[in-house]
Amino acid sequence: MELVEEVVIVGAGIAGLTTSLGLHRLGIRSLVLESSAGLRVTGFAFTTWTNAWRALDAVGIGHSLRQQHGFLDGGDHEVRCVRRKLLLEALEKELPDGTIRYSSKVVSIEESGYLKLVHLADDTIIKTKVLIGCDGVNSVVARFIGFKKPAFAGRSAIRGYADFKVNHGFGSKFLQLFGKGVRSGFLPCDDTTIYWFFTYIPTGQDKELEDNPTEMKQFVLSKLGNVPDHARTSVEITELDSITSSPLRFRHPWEVLWGNISKGNVSVAGDALHPMTPDIGQGGCAALEDGVVLARCLAEALKKELNVEGKEKEREEYKRVEMGLKKYAAERRWRSFELISTAYIVGAIQQGDGKIMNILRDAFLAKFLAGLLLKKADFDCGKLNIS
């Protein structure tokens, strides 16, 4: 079977659905290909800072999500812990029926004149004028435009989602502890639910944890150290199907600075572009920014009237899309570089287990790191408006 689409987005995650919704708001249809049978909610929740809320407001779903997630103490910043499931459902709900094609795994990409041929595992071939990869750290599209496989950061993360059924007692504060080789955090999503994470440096023995939620839970409890009772309880009451583990991967920042974020009529966004360690809570936020900027730049290119026909029209459309994606790349290149670099450095300092590092961090660097985090959160990706 062969289909023809104007814009194909690979991956129905945060970046993919935000891009699709941004394009929809601007009058452009896209097809989103998702390899899973339904929305994937791996990771359970993520911190949304001021920059993320500006992006959510730009695509028109900020208000509804605010009603479902409590405000956290973040000084002058709007900070909430958003459940990934609720975010993806909010994005999907605003898209026209048929926008997302589930169980559609991309196996290869091929050039065909000014078009790209996207080959799926079920032998479907989709022709498209624009191809956007939002397919995560193992992105097929990122490899197609020349990016290398993301590097292992030397750390792993165990994440969980706890439902207390009653008030959990955290109030509007989120708890973070770090040092001695580990880092943990507990963030309220609302009055009864907590998202928690635990990052650590794995040894050979720890690698078996990834497939065993029971052992993951026991490992975290044994390594938490002296934490408040309600934090420990968060881990203890977490259901086994609400615990996951994964290695932390990141793209070397110089790849983003010097590499091709776009190539002709192909580009990438989200973790396909800037996989980063979670130490400044900006991975999901940056994916939301990408979606707004990408939709705006693409719409500017696709909505211009052309006064030519035939092959000349195809060539002119291709050139305009190419320029639109180059504009997107220029807007996101330095931002991506900064976020990847800052996250890696903050993680190395926070999770360091050397005595000297611990003294320096506690005495001098804690305030500096907090300021750095807040500075990265004070970013505005702009509106969807196009000229």
Domain assignments of the chain as residue spans, ordered by start: 2-150+251-377, 158-249
Say yes or no: domain 2-150+251-377 is CATH 3.50.50.60: yes
Q: How far is 325 from 265, CA to CA, in rounded Å?
A: 7
Give me the pLDDT at residue 178, please: 78
Share of the chain above pLDDT 70, in %: 93
Q: DSSP states of 365-387 as a string?
A: IHHHHHHHHHHHHS-----S---
Q: Is residue 290 scored above 70 in pLDDT?
A: yes
Q: Is residue 306 scored above 80 in pLDDT?
A: no
Give me the pLDDT at residue 356, please: 56
Q: How far is 265 from 319, CA to CA, in rounded Å?
A: 8
Give me the pLDDT at residue 205, please: 67
Q: 363 CB contacts (<8 Å, ≥6 apart)? A: none
Residue for token pair 């580990």: 182
pLDDT grade for 211, boundaries at 50, 70 and 90: confident
Q: How far is 279 from 342, CA to CA, in rounded Å?
A: 9
Give me the pLDDT at residue 76, please: 84
pLDDT in tens, 244-276: 999 999 999 999 999 999 999 999 999 999 999
Give me the pLDDT at residue 366, please: 56
Q: Is residue 34 scored above 90 in pLDDT?
A: yes
Q: Is residue 363 scored above 60 in pLDDT?
A: no
Q: How far is 183 from 369, CA to CA, in rounded Å?
A: 14
Largest CA distance in the chain: 70
Q: How far is 279 from 91, CA to CA, in rounded Å?
A: 26
Q: What is the pTM of this model?
A: 0.94
Kindly report the number of other CB atoms within 10 A of residue 312's CB atom. Answer: 11
Q: Is residue 99 scored above 80 in pLDDT?
A: yes
158-249: which CATH topology? D-Amino Acid Oxidase; Chain A, domain 2 (3.30.9)
Give me the pLDDT at residue 374, please: 83
Name residue 247's amino acid.
P
As a whole number, mean pLDDT of residues 279-290 equals 96
What element of type H or E holds 163? strand 151-163
Give me the pLDDT at residue 349, please: 76
